[in-house]
Amino acid sequence: MPKTDNINSIIDHKLFTEEDIHNMCVKLGKQLTADYAGKKPLIVGALKGAIFFLTDLVREMDVKAEIDFLDVSSYGDEMESSGEVKLISDLATDVKDRDVLIVEDIVDTGLTLEYMKNLLKKRGARSVKCCVLLNKEANRTSDVEVEYYGSKVGNEFVVGYGLDFMNYYRNLRYIGVLKPEIIKLVNNK
Ligand code: PRP
């Protein structure tokens, strides 16, 4: 947790504790272990937000898996999706004939996930599914399927455990809801 900031000044309340997050990882890990039994999936983490979830999730999966990362962004430093997804850095692994599992911290509009799924299918992946920690459906504009998720969330701005506000606060151990006045401050700049 950042020591240089008073975290209470930006967080309204905790939404998920470390224990809640751990329990979600254990549950999803069990499900994925069963569903990917006998397969050698390629786990694709979407940088940067997914790194914390991915490292905890894969350690709950008893599966022979490879790990790689894609960096895609639709937000930059903005509070709302630009609607345009950009590929910032690509995978090192060939996905042809692979069972790919995309790991994401959050699905909001769904545009980032749709872009990644389409890209990987176009490259010849055998299957492309996703496992998302938080499923935020209020602003969904894509009908992309979310096969696995930890929890649904409302239309709140969440930070911590990989989720950022202006690229900060990813390193909080819990997930908190940002105070609405902080969002207003930034929007009025
Ligand atoms: C966030 C998040 C997802 C995406 C979800 O990434 O990690 O990838 O937005 O939004 P969407 O469903 O509306 O497309 P962001 O682009 O902020 O990059 P980051 O992971 O580096 O924070």
Question: Could you say which of 77, 108, 143, 164 is catalytic?
Answer: 108
How far apart CA 33 and CA 29 sit, in angstroms, is: 6
Q: Ligand 1 mean position to 30 CA, how many Å?
A: 25
Whether ligand 1 lies within 6 angstroms of the CB of 48 is answered as yes
Instruction: List the 175-178 sheet strands across, edge first.
Output: 11-16, 175-178, 158-159
Active site residue 71: no
1 pLDDT exceeds 70?
A: no
Residue 67: which region, alpha, beta or left (left: phi > 0; alpha: psi -120 to 50)? Answer: beta
Q: Ligand 1 mean position to 47 CA, how many Å?
A: 8
Average pLDDT on 5-27 reads 92
Note the pLDDT tens digit of each residue in 96-149: 999 999 999 999 999 999 999 999 999 999 999 999 999 999 999 999 999 999
How far apart CA 95 and CA 75 sit, in angstroms, is: 26
Residue of 131, 64, 68, 121 lying closest to 96 (CA atoms)? 121
When pLDDT is cut at 50, 70 and 90, the band that residue 9 belongs to is: confident
When pLDDT is cut at 50, 70 and 90, the band that residue 77 belongs to is: low
The verdict on pTM exceeding 0.75 is yes
Confirm if 69 and 88 have CB atoms less than 8 A apart.
no
When pLDDT is cut at 50, 70 and 90, the band that residue 188 belongs to is: confident
- More confident call, 3 vs 53: 53
pLDDT at 78: 63
How far apart CA 5 and CA 27 sit, in angstroms, is: 33
How far apart CA 136 and CA 157 sit, in angstroms, is: 10
Number of the ligand 1 atom closest to the C-alpha atom of 142: 12
Whether ligand 1 lies within 6 angstroms of the CB of 112 is answered as yes
pLDDT at 184: 79
Strand locations in 27-157 (E):
42-47, 66-73, 86-89, 99-107, 127-136, 148-153
Ligand 1, from 73, 167, 171: best to mutate by most atoms within 8 Å of Cβ? 73
Residue 185 burial by CB count (10 A; 0-12/13-18/19+): exposed, middle or buried? exposed
Whether ligand 1 lies within 6 angstroms of the CB of 130 is answered as no
Whether ligand 1 lies within 6 angstroms of the CB of 81 is answered as yes
First to last CA, the chain: 26
**Is the bond preceding 48 in cis, omega lying within 30 degrees of 0?**
yes
Q: Ligand 1 mean position to 105 CA, how many Å?
A: 8
